């Protein structure tokens, strides 16, 4: 059974978490090879220490960039080095069925990309991972009879000869995806299913073929032989048969799936080979592990050997003789005492404790690079793990925590993460003025990691080169003053649309919170994708609107998550449903971004003027530039899109919501602001951006709302990149830092009547929200401060100005100001818990 592997496809929203899948394959099946269609770190990590061989794929979208050596090295460093060798990665597929895309540019970069990845592996000191790429049988111009098999013309010399040369040189296999399922007709069904049949005779060789699988393999072999590469190994990257299809779909049934796959397994394991390749064996990957519910057609959704709950659709003889398969149980470790290093223990002493423990038979893999407890990567943290593991393994006796007086027993769980909450303007000032770099890290938050493509974005990226380059791209291409100015017509149109929308429901209850979110989403979607989020031309994700998906994203990011503070408790997320929700949301977003990128790639043939480019156009253009410092892959493009949607939509919408709520509670302020705007725009049909600079009082109102309701009340969490001293307190490296913008904005040392809404407090004062006044930090400060201020403020100002200009506002019938609920909903952004509903009536212009 060592020849048999399985394709672990994940086009589904109901699959179990990778850790359970890995344990299932290891414990319940005889499979010892898997192949995945991307480089999902969660899957690769899950197979660590399982003994299962893993084939990882460079997605097609990344081929262009990894054809360059620096990008290939970067790819290997990101996707292989952290996991290897604990995860037994044995092969990297560069793309999947690339020739079938017909994209000449992609095809032309395929062999260079394979070579570059191979070289990058060698440069990283890895010489036992093969590089290949799977092909569909569309690469053949002729396949019958098998001995006449030939590659398609031109490609044979230009692509396949150099590719096969590469395989010969590097002793890697040519990978193919023979699918008799796609080649049979009603006369050849038995021949395709390995059932008794008359066979197909090849006159040229005098060989009789009794099954289509052999014929397909031999056709490929003949094509390779014609080019002079008969010696290169062949691996079957994919083959399979669906167990269900549409009613009356020819040849699709559970019985046929069993026949094909059971006979296939027997055949490849028998070692008989094929007529032209007798006595040869072919490593074969069945398609697929699971039924994948998001595949487009019924038969495609039913290729799996297992259902997502691990129950077999049918058994092809790969199940171990164990009891019925059930997901592996996760027993939380419960201990009330821990052994930790004493505060004065030196690094040298702690290192010798680590060495001692790790050579005494305790498993220290978790603190090795790539292990779950490797971060924070400090001697003290690793010693803390090792010493405690030793203490627990020996029965928790105090004596076993002595470590020559460098260990102490405590009731405090050392796996919790030290967190600093900054609630005073003075501390914030010292942090941003003196220690900005030390506080410029972002912690790898559990949900954010997944939703930001493993931190391939600006907001959640660790402090370093990638963050710097990505932020530069965002700042220059989307958020620069010139760019923001060029989006003014979009803002104008969308605000007009909001005003019209309200006009349709005069004097009845209107959900301002929802309208503000739609407005903000539409603006961001149009500048990013060129299309609105909600209009008919916008992208629709199977009925679920993009903003609904984003709403779930915001919720997931904001939810208190045990694993962020107690990493060892991450198992809880498997039980409380967080993992499942996270995975579903990620898939939905990912599918959406894929579609957007695909559409942009399709329409790239008609050249756009630079000024007409939307953000995706710009990012795709940058991706093609061979001189970029940090290669931009598809996952980075998606990460940057995630940035602006996560950081840029809810925040502006929330601001509009809170401003309107405060105005309703403060009628005098409302009146004054309305008088101003109606004066400034007198005689006009609407307020325009060119009027905004005259709206001085409205700007004070907006500042005051930012002070009392900073949309991201704890900013985005930070982590210290080095230790430093703040007001005589030693803050160690790797401390989580939450900066409480709400507490700072209401710090009585700086603010009189801090909890009252008084816009006039800003009158004639040089205090603004750009990060220079440390008592007022709604956009954060320093190098990680918000780069989107210029983007969001004009939209907020224009929409508030028009809302006040066109309409008079009242609370819905029967509601009094004191009934207006100002409770905040917990999240990364803090919107109103109960949406703001108001009634509008026309102000007679
Ligand atoms: C009213 C609107 C907005 C508010 C209140 C806001 C607030 C914030 C805050 C508090 C942070 C964290 C700062 C820190 O850690 O010091 C942040 C970061 C960020 N914001 Fe905004 N933001 C808004 C709009 C936007 C928009 C429209 C965009 C982009 C289109 C954007 C993009 C970002 C990015 C990329 C970061 C991460 C910066 C980094 O880590 O280097 N924001 N924002």
Model confidence at 821: pLDDT above 80: no
Rounded Cα distance, 820 and 705, in Å = 16
Residue 775 lies in a domain: yes
Contact 445, 452 (CB under 8 A): no
> Of residues 820 and 741, which shows the higher confidence score?
741
Which ligand 1 atom is at minimum distance from the Cα of 478?
Answer: 30
* Domain finish residue from 386, 411, 436: 411
pLDDT at position 570: 55
For residue range 570-605, list pLDDT tens digits in order: 555 555 667 777 788 888 888 888 888 887 876 655
For atom 19 of ligand 1, the residue with the nearest CA is: 786
Rounded Cα distance, 826 and 517, in Å = 17
Which ligand 1 atom is at minimum distance from the Cα of 461?
Answer: 40
Do 389 and 521 fall within a single domain? no
Residue 782 lies in a domain: yes
The response to whether residue 712 sits with its C-beta less than 6 Å from ligand 1 reads yes
Domain CATH for 124: 3.20.20.80
The response to whether residue 457 sits with its C-beta less than 6 Å from ligand 1 reads no
Do 87 and 128 fall within a single domain? yes
Distance between Cα 678 and ligand 1 center (Å): 31
Domain CATH for 745: 1.10.630.10
pLDDT at position 736: 84
Do 499 and 611 fall within a single domain? yes
Do 443 and 589 fall within a single domain? yes
Do 488 and 634 fall within a single domain? yes
Distance between Cα 50 and ligand 1 center (Å): 41
Do 85 and 108 fall within a single domain? yes
Please classify residue 627 by burial: count the beta carbons closer than 10 Å to its beta carbon, then call 0-12 exposed, 13-18 middle and 19+ buried.
Answer: exposed
For residue range 551-575, list pLDDT tens digits in order: 777 777 766 555 565 555 555 555 5
The response to whether residue 449 sits with its C-beta less than 6 Å from ligand 1 reads no
Residue 791 lies in a domain: yes
For atom 24 of ligand 1, the residue with the nearest CA is: 648
For residue range 385-415, list pLDDT tens digits in order: 888 888 877 777 777 888 888 888 876 666 6
Please classify residue 575 by burial: count the beta carbons closer than 10 Å to its beta carbon, then call 0-12 exposed, 13-18 middle and 19+ buried.
Answer: exposed
The response to whether residue 639 sits with its C-beta less than 6 Å from ligand 1 reads no
For atom 40 of ligand 1, the residue with the nearest CA is: 459
Contact 5, 237 (CB under 8 A): no
Rounded Cα distance, 158 and 154, in Å = 6
> Tokens 């050849």 identify what position?
188
Residue 318 lies in a domain: no
pLDDT at position 622: 83
Do 352 and 390 fall within a single domain? yes
For residue range 345-366, list pLDDT tens digits in order: 888 989 988 988 887 777 788 7
Distance between Cα 788 and ligand 1 center (Å): 6
pLDDT at position 706: 97
Catalytic residue, candidates 165, 169, 187, 238? 238
For residue range 11-61, list pLDDT tens digits in order: 988 898 898 899 899 888 888 899 999 999 989 999 988 889 999 999 998
Rounded Cα distance, 175 and 172, in Å = 9
> Tokens 């190994």 identify what position?
233
Residue 675 lies in a domain: yes
The response to whether residue 776 sits with its C-beta less than 6 Å from ligand 1 reads no
The response to whether residue 831 sits with its C-beta less than 6 Å from ligand 1 reads no
Give the domain extent around 355: 341-411
The response to whether residue 740 sits with its C-beta less than 6 Å from ligand 1 reads no
Do 22 and 160 fall within a single domain? yes
* Domain finish residue from 250, 275, 302: 302
Do 287 and 348 fall within a single domain? no
> Of residues 666 and 370, which shows the higher confidence score?
666
Give Cα separations from 730 to 247, 414, 420, 422, 542 (angstroms): 70, 18, 11, 14, 52
DSSP state of 248: T
Which ligand 1 atom is at minimum distance from the Cα of 467?
Answer: 41
Catalytic residue, candidates 77, 97, 144, 469? 97
Residue 199 lies in a domain: no
Contact 439, 782 (CB under 8 A): yes
Q: How many residues does the chain have?
A: 845
- The tokens describing 756, both together, are 């009252």
Beta bridge partners of 515: none
The runs of H, that is alpha helices, within 571-633 are: 572-575, 578-602, 615-624
Model confidence at 91: pLDDT above 90: yes
> Of residues 296 and 542, which shows the higher confidence score?
296
pLDDT at position 536: 44
Contact 310, 265 (CB under 8 A): no
* Residue 238 designated active-site: yes
DSSP state of 273: B
Rounded Cα distance, 318 and 444, in Å = 38
Do 561 and 622 fall within a single domain? yes
Beta bridge partners of 209: 200
pLDDT at position 537: 42
For residue range 765-789, list pLDDT tens digits in order: 999 999 999 999 999 999 999 999 9
* Domain finish residue from 378, 411, 444: 411
Average pLDDT over residues 808-814: 87
The response to whether residue 650 sits with its C-beta less than 6 Å from ligand 1 reads no
* Residue of 707, 708, 733 lying closest to 718 (CA atoms): 733
pLDDT at position 543: 47
The residues, any chain, with a CB within 8 Å of residue 437's CB and separated by 6 or more, are 463, 721, 722, 783
Distance between Cα 786 and ligand 1 center (Å): 4
Distance between Cα 779 and ligand 1 center (Å): 6
The response to whether residue 648 sits with its C-beta less than 6 Å from ligand 1 reads yes
Distance between Cα 780 and ligand 1 center (Å): 8
The residues, any chain, with a CB within 8 Å of residue 831's CB and separated by 6 or more, are 513, 650, 653, 654, 657, 658, 711, 824, 825
DSSP-derived 3-state class of residue 725: strand
Distance between Cα 716 and ligand 1 center (Å): 8
Which ligand 1 atom is at minimum distance from the Cα of 792?
Answer: 27
Residue 725 lies in a domain: yes
Beta-strand pair 174-177/150-151: unpaired
For residue range 484-530, list pLDDT tens digits in order: 998 999 999 999 999 999 999 998 999 998 899 889 988 988 888 77
Give Cα separations from 93 to 49, 61, 257, 595, 823 (angstroms): 22, 13, 27, 23, 52
* Residue of 358, 368, 348 lying closest to 393 (CA atoms): 358
Distance between Cα 787 and ligand 1 center (Å): 6
Do 612 and 543 fall within a single domain? yes
- The tokens describing 321, both together, are 């003789």
For atom 9 of ligand 1, the residue with the nearest CA is: 779
Distance between Cα 782 and ligand 1 center (Å): 12
C-alpha torsion 457→543→652→528, nearest 10: 50
* Residue of 284, 164, 271, 199 lying closest to 235 (CA atoms): 284
* Residue of 215, 125, 172, 175 lying closest to 5 (CA atoms): 175
The response to whether residue 781 sits with its C-beta less than 6 Å from ligand 1 reads yes
> Of residues 314 and 564, which shows the higher confidence score?
314
- Mutation to probe ligand 1, out of 786, 790, 794 (largest number of atoms < 8 A from CB): 786
- At 418, the pLDDT band (50, 70, 90 cuts) reads confident
Question: What is the residue-averaged pLDDT of the chain?
Answer: 85
Element (H, E) at 400: none
Which ligand 1 atom is at minimum distance from the Cα of 457?
Answer: 35
Tell me how many domains the chain contains: 3
The residues, any chain, with a CB within 8 Å of residue 413's CB and separated by 6 or more, are 338, 566, 568
Do 642 and 550 fall within a single domain? yes
- Sign of CA pseudo-dihedral 572, 575, 581, 586: positive
Residue 333 lies in a domain: no
């Amino acid at each position: 059974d060592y020849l048999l592997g399985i394709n672990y496809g994940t086009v589904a929203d109901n699959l179990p978490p990778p850790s359970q899948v890995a344990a299932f394959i290891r414990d319940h099946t005889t499979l010892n090879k898997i192949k995945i269609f991307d480089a999902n770190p969660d899957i690769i990590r899950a197979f660590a220490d399982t003994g299962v061989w893993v084939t990882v794929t460079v997605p097609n979208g990344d081929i262009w960039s990894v054809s360059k050596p620096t990008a290939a090295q970067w790819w290997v460093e990101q996707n292989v080095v952290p996991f290897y060798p604990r995860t037994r990665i044995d092969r990297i597929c560069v793309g999947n069925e690339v020739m079938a895309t017909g994209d000449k540019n992609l095809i032309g970069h395929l062999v260079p990309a394979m070579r570059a990845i191979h070289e990058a592996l060698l440069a990283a000191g890895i010489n036992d991972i093969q590089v290949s790429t799977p092909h569909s049988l569309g690469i053949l111009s002729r396949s019958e009879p098998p001995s006449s098999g030939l590659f398609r013309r031109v490609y044979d010399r230009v692509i396949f000869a150099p590719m096969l040369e590469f395989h010969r040189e590097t002793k890697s296999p040519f990978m193919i995806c023979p699918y008799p399922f796609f080649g049979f007709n009603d006369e050849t069904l038995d021949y395709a299913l390995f059932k008794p049949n008359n066979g197909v005779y090849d006159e040229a060789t005098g060989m009789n073929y009794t099954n289509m699988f052999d014929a397909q393999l031999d056709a490929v072999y003949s094509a390779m032989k014609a080019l002079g590469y008969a010696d290169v190994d062949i691996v079957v990257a994919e083959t399979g048969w669906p167990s269900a299809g549409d009613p009356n779909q020819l040849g699709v049934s559970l019985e046929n799936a069993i026949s094909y796959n059971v006979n296939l397994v027997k055949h490849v394991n028998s070692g008989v080979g094929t007529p032209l390749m007798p006595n040869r064996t072919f490593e074969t990957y069945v398609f697929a592990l699971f039924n994948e519910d998001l595949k487009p057609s019924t038969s495609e959704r039913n290729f799996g050997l297992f259902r997502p709950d691990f129950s077999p659709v049918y058994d092809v003889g790969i199940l171990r003789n164990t009891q019925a398969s059930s997901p592996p149980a996760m027993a939380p470790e419960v201990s009330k005492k821990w052994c930790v290093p004493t505060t004065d223990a030196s690094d040298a002493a702690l290192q010798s404790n680590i060495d001692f423990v790790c050579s005494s038979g305790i498993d220290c893999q978790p603190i090795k690079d790539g292990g779950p407890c490797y971060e924070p990567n400090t001697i003290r943290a690793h010693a803390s793990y090792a010493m405690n593991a030793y203490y627990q393994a020996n029965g928790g006796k105090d004596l076993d925590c002595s470590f020559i007086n460098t260990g102490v027993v405590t009731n405090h769980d050392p796996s919790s993460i030290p967190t600093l909450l900054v609630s005073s303007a003075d501390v914030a000032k010292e942090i941003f003025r003196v220690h900005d770099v030390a506080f410029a890290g972002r912690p790898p938050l559990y949900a954010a990691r997944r939703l930001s493509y493993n931190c391939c974005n600006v907001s959640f990226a660790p402090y370093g080169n990638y963050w710097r380059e990505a932020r530069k791209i965002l700042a220059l291409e989307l958020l620069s003053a010139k760019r923001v100015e060029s989006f003014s017509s979009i803002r104008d149109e969308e605000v007009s649309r909001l005003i019209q929308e309200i006009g349709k429901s005069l004097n009845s209850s209107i959900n301002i919170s929802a309208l503000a979110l739609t407005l903000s989403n539409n603006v961001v979607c149009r500048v990013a994708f060129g299309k609105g989020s909600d209009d008919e031309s916008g992208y629709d994700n199977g009925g679920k609107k993009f903003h609904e998906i984003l709403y779930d994203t915001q919720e997931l990011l904001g939810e208190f998550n045990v694993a962020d503070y107690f990493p060892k408790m991450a198992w809880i997320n498997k039980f409380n449903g967080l993992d499942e929700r996270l995975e579903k949301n990620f898939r939905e977003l990912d599918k959406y971004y894929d579609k957007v990128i695909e559409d942009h790639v399709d329409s790239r043939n008609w050249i756009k003027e630079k000024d007409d480019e939307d953000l995706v156009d710009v990012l795709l253009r940058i991706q093609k530039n061979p001189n970029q410092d940090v290669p931009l892959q598809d996952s980075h493009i998606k990460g940057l899109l995630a940035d602006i949607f996560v950081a840029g939509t809810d925040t502006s919408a929330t601001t509009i919501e809170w401003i309107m709520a405060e105005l309703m509670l403060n009628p005098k302020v409302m009146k004054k602001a309305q008088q101003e705007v109606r004066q400034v725009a007198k005689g006009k049909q609407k307020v325009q951006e060119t009027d905004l600079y005259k709206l001085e009082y409205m700007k004070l109102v907006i500042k005051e709302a930012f002070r009392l309701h900073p949309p991201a009340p704890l900013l985005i969490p930070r982590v210290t990149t080095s230790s430093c001293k703040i007001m005589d307190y030693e803050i160690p490296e790797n401390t989580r830092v939450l900066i409480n913008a709400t507490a700072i904005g209401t710090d009585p040392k700086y603010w009189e009547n801090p909890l009252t809404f008084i816009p006039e407090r800003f009158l004639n004062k040089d205090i603004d929200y750009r990060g220079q006044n440390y008592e007022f930090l709604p956009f954060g400060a320093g190098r990680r401060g918000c780069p989107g201020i210029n983007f969001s403020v004009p939209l907020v100002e224009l929409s508030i100005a028009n809302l006040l200009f066109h309409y008079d506002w009242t609370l819905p019938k029967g509601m009094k100001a004191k009934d207006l609920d100002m409770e905040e909903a917990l999240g990364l952004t803090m919107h109103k818990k109960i949406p703001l509903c108001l009634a509008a009536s026309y102000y007679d212009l």
